[in-house]
Structure 1
Amino acid sequence: MRALSYGLGQQYFEERDYRGAIRALKPVVDETPDDVGTRLLLARAYYHAALLKPAEEHLLEVIEREPTEYYAHLMLARTLERLSRRDEAGKYRRIAAALTGDDELLDGHTI
């Protein structure tokens, strides 16, 4: 059941049905909270659905479980920027840049 829900969530995400992806992925994350990949996809769905607080919460969970996941840092920076919290966002952009060696991530136009 979990694999089916994940696959469905991924399909919804690819079709840009972000709320459908959230409905499919949330039970998977609830059942397997340590699955960083699924949680990151759920966070991305929240972000693209403009549900920024849940996106922030899940991205923080991803970072807590996998501190070197640069994309979670970058997504969190972008989420915080959309929430008008640019000062906080800068920290996560700097971490993403440090993890990848890509200083272009510092400019605020990358996601």
Structure 2
Amino acid sequence: MDGTLFGRYRYAGMLFDDRQYSAAATELAELVTEEPDNTAIRLLLARAYYHSAQLTRAEAELREVLQRNPADAYAHLMLGRVLQRQSRHDEAASSLRLAAAMSGE
């Protein structure tokens, strides 16, 4: 594994692609600590948390992404899905509506 930020991000992406979501989340959480403003890392971390059923953590990362970039339609969509999985359907509906409006669907 390449020790650069990009190399470590690629490695985490490979773990994610191999459906090793918990391992990917561990790698990505370390990267977020080093690069807290990097929303690409945060989004992949949120996805890894989502797929490993760490929904509270996924929600926190997505809310952080949206605080930094409220116009991120994909983050709104993901937040809606996370909230749905937590049976918070009313909250999910508003995020899903925003995502649909932003993406033109």
Per the shorter chain, which TM-score range? over 0.9
Pairwise CA distance, 1:68: 1.2
4+ long deviations beyond 2 Å: none
Give the aligned partner of residue 2 of structure 1: 5
1:92 aligns with 2:95: yes
- 2:70 is matched with which residue: 49, 67, 71? 67
Query: Counterpart amino acid of 2:85?
Result: R
Residues 1:39 and 2:12 aligned together? no
- Secondary structure of 1:67's aligned partner: coil
Residue 63 of structure 1 aligns to a residue in which SS? helix
Which one-letter code corresponds to 1:57 in the other structure? Answer: A
TM-score when scaled to structure 1? 0.89
Gaps of 5+ in 2: none
Amino acid at match of 2:91: E
Q: Which runs of 5+ in 1 are unaligned?
A: 103-111
Distance (whole Å) between structure 2 residues aligned to residue 100 and residue 24 of structure 1: 30
1:11 equivalent to 2:38? Answer no
The alignment yields a C-alpha RMSD, in angstroms, of 0.8
Work out the CA distance in 1 between the residues paired with 2:95 and 2:52.
21
* Structure 1 Cα separation of the partners of residues 33 and 72 of structure 2: 20
**How many residues get paired?**
102
